[in-house]
Chains A and B, each alone.
Chain A
């Protein structure tokens, strides 16, 4: 089947199998490998993308469900070479170690900002409760998102 949707600001049309997951569509067909697959059951959040302004686990969504949707992946976060403030602050506060959870973290935080530009620390925790990081201990991630909220 063919589906049409917007991906990082561009109209996109793809031919796909009905049982294809979004994470596979992005990674295999569109070579957008910034979106990572960590657990395949919607528990780790590494595959988080934004669909119609909401953070979703792309391993839990069928690609055909994207018909007519507006999709943002980590590749669409920066404006060319100019990094988004969330990206800048993840670098500044050390919210990254191995980097595997980073795209998903950024997407969850970005979705939060779309809904609430001035979130509290509790809002931030709620927004990334579905994103696991095995490296950092979370402190710098919260700091990075908080700093972005206040800038």
Chain B
């Protein structure tokens, strides 16, 4: 079962946007951006720059033919700043020239006069000033107020979680080419071709059918190309149409780091109440989300923070409030987990602090409060086919947690400076876009007369293996060799009105649509086979390994001959199909409903070793029992799990975004923003597939895998805390992430 995409990768033959052979005369665009985080634009003078040799055009806000508006959920974001700048990195002008170097050189000659205003960087300051993206959101269950006096222990505190740079290795970019009839074809590195199409149409003042968006693959997305790939594509398209020439726009890495939004930093207050037995009775939490300068996807991300604020625990009384605060940073955006990790981190911190107060291991509180079948989440959905306890118990026994714990305790008695720590991290993550209408997908399947198959869906391949999974679905429905099937590019002319490949839902939604399309064709093929074989009952026809069977017996008819015959019989060998998962809904006003098709569960055990003199640490092992449902591709799912955990650990530990008081990103290069490298990879990494025979709405019951394992990374934070605690048992540490070596030392010795 060869994955041809991967074969091309190892041969250096796979094409990303910047690899496409461009036509003669292709121009290059560079984006001039604000160096001021907050201010009023007095003037933009492009005259000198425009006269430079090789410069073909410079476009500013007033040149936009349609609307200067790219906001998705809320219309609050300009493509090019017109009167006001709200963050450093905000685009002001598009410079188009014969080469990238010339365009960049010319951009330096543009004079932008900005009257500086005071920027706001801190979400709590923004909240105090009333600078909110939208009114606060509240999720609640039971009655928190009535139950505080039933709690034997109440703990309150504050938690800070840092942002995170996506660091897709392929930076943002697009290539646009004018086509006849006043339209444009855009090749974009986007997770959401339809968003690119809509945005470009709006900016250009064109109907959507004049914009064709094509996507081959992405060099990583992680959410960073869900909403924020659109502006670059719209800019390239605008320049291409204005100049009537092909235009390529690829962000240089440093510009990408400065201009694009990241995972939202959060500042949160919690209050947790437990009874004598360690059961959580009450949980009250307020999240201050640092949204940056405009809404982007922040409202939806804010909701997911609330959906997952109790992680995989049952809490009978919850009051969770979330405020999306407007600051002068680049608009923060989707990133694997989509606000869920920030919510989960706070309840884990609350449990940690409660355990500290009681002088017990946090895992005793975690275990006592795990979700059981039928337990209600704060949003009204009940836990069904709940694997919280099953995964926990399986992890404890499979990896012999008591033994691991004992080894660590003994090590720590003997070792003075290096201390080890271990933590358990259960997860529960809901699958579906919580904005219900986005849960839809389409597929177009062609069987060609030679028996080969092409499949188009709205799914974007960005390394997560969705193309391979869809080919598996097609191969399975037709029962043909997978080599016969090709994934076509994702293209808005073949699949219209698609949702982003996001929310871990790419394979579920698009795979199911492909399954339906294949079934349509299969039914026609059965009739054609019956006719060809002069058999009465097409219900008794099946295809098994490319052989046509009748009443469970092989016939002389093979796949190729069947297709050829069907074509001659004038049977359609193509089908378009549409899928929308049933039974999900969510009432935003009441904050109640059944937003998720299903939940994914699992438990990780993470062990670290901390050098309490140097502040450095190693991830010694990550051991996971995860609910994959019935995985259709264990290699892909295992690899997704490992990668997601690594990224989650990076978020919690070494990846630190630093902005100065002027709103300038200080960690704007890979020399200053550190992501896990080979030395940081866990020394031991075990992933166990939890046996889960339950049916779900997942494609072939193979559960979504993109995001859920990211949140295991939170366990690394508390494993480090446990090691630190073992070094300084009397100290109470603040819960601030990321726990960089610098912060670790300051926490130990301050």
Q: A43-B670, A98-B462, A139-B685 are in contact. Are A134 and B11 (CB under 8 A)?
A: no
Name the prevailing secondary structure of the B interface residues. Answer: loop
> Which residues from chain A contact B2 at a C-beta distance below 8 Å?
91
Q: How far is the CB of A67 from chain B (nearest CB, A)?
A: 23
Bound Cα distance from A101 to B463, whole angstroms: 11
In the A-B complex, the 10 residue pairs with the smallest Cβ-Cβ separation, listed nearest first, are: A34-B12, A98-B463, A99-B9, A100-B219, A97-B463, A74-B12, A43-B670, A137-B646, A33-B19, A137-B642
Which residues from 673 to 717 on chain B have a C-beta closer than 8 Å to any C-beta of chain A? 675-679, 681-682, 685
Bound Cα distance from A129 to B678, whole angstroms: 6
Q: Which of A38, A106, A134, A135 contacts B253 (CB 8 A)?
A: A38
Chain B residue nearest to A98 (CB atoms) is: B463
The answer to whether B420 has its CB under 8 Å from any CB of chain A is no
**Residue pair B647, A134 in contact (C-beta under 8 Å):** yes
**Residue pair A98, B170 in contact (C-beta under 8 Å):** yes
Q: A94-B638, A135-B220, A142-B678 are in contact. Are A35 and B12 (CB under 8 A)?
A: yes
**Residue pair B169, A139 in contact (C-beta under 8 Å):** no
**Residue pair B21, A137 in contact (C-beta under 8 Å):** no
Q: How far is the CB of B623 from chain A (nearest CB, A)?
A: 13
Q: A36-B16, A40-B253, A135-B643 are in contact. Are A99 and B11 (CB under 8 A)?
A: no
Bound Cα distance from A84 to B151, whole angstroms: 65
> Which residues from chain B contact A101 at a C-beta distance below 8 Å?
169
> Which residues from chain A contact B254 at a C-beta distance below 8 Å?
40
The answer to whether A31 has its CB under 8 Å from any CB of chain B is yes
Q: How far is the CB of A91 from chain B (nearest CB, A)?
A: 6
Q: How far is the CB of A74 from chain B (nearest CB, A)?
A: 4
Q: How far is the CB of A135 from chain B (nearest CB, A)?
A: 5
Chain A residues within CB distance 8 Å of chain B: 27, 31-41, 43-44, 46, 73-75, 77-78, 83, 87, 90-91, 94, 96-103, 106, 125, 128-129, 131-142
Q: How far is the CB of B370 from chain A (nearest CB, A)?
A: 26
Q: How far is the CB of A36 from chain B (nearest CB, A)?
A: 7
Bound Cα distance from A49 to B640, whole angstroms: 28
**Residue pair A137, B10 in contact (C-beta under 8 Å):** no
> Which residues from chain B contact A125 at a C-beta distance below 8 Å?
678-679
What are 12 A-B pairs with beta-carbon distances under 8 A?
A: A27-B18, A27-B19, A32-B12, A34-B11, A83-B7, A87-B10, A97-B639, A102-B10, A134-B168, A136-B646, A137-B646, A139-B642
**Residue pair A100, B170 in contact (C-beta under 8 Å):** yes
Q: How far is the CB of B646 from chain A (nearest CB, A)?
A: 4
The answer to whether B167 has its CB under 8 Å from any CB of chain A is yes
The answer to whether B645 has its CB under 8 Å from any CB of chain A is yes
Bound Cα distance from A43 to B673, whole angstroms: 10
Chain B residue nearest to A74 (CB atoms) is: B12
Q: How many residues of B contact A (CB 8 A)?
A: 56
> Which residues from chain A contact B426 at a C-beta distance below 8 Å?
none
> Which residues from chain A contact B546 at a C-beta distance below 8 Å?
none
Bound Cα distance from A31 to B12, whole angstroms: 11
Apart from A43-B669, A131-B678: 12 A-B pairs, beta carbons within 8 A = A44-B169, A74-B12, A87-B10, A91-B2, A98-B170, A98-B218, A99-B5, A99-B6, A103-B9, A136-B646, A137-B639, A137-B682
Bound Cα distance from A96 to B12, whole angstroms: 12
> Which residues from chain B contact A39 at a C-beta distance below 8 Å?
253, 669-670
Q: Which of A94, A99, A134 contacts B635 (CB 8 A)?
A: A94
Q: Which of A46, A97, A102, A129 contacts B465 (CB 8 A)?
A: A97
**Residue pair B670, A137 in contact (C-beta under 8 Å):** no
Bound Cα distance from A142 to B217, whole angstroms: 25
Q: How far is the CB of B112 from chain A (nearest CB, A)?
A: 24
Chain A residue nearest to B634 (CB atoms) is: A94
The answer to whether B135 has its CB under 8 Å from any CB of chain A is no
The answer to whether B497 has its CB under 8 Å from any CB of chain A is no
Counting chain B CB atoms within 10 Å of each CB, which of A34, A125, A139 scores highest? A139
Q: How far is the CB of B500 from chain A (nearest CB, A)?
A: 17
Bound Cα distance from A128 to B681, whole angstroms: 12
Bound Cα distance from A137 to B646, whole angstroms: 5
The answer to whether B671 has its CB under 8 Å from any CB of chain A is yes
> Which residues from chain B contact A142 at a C-beta distance below 8 Å?
678, 681
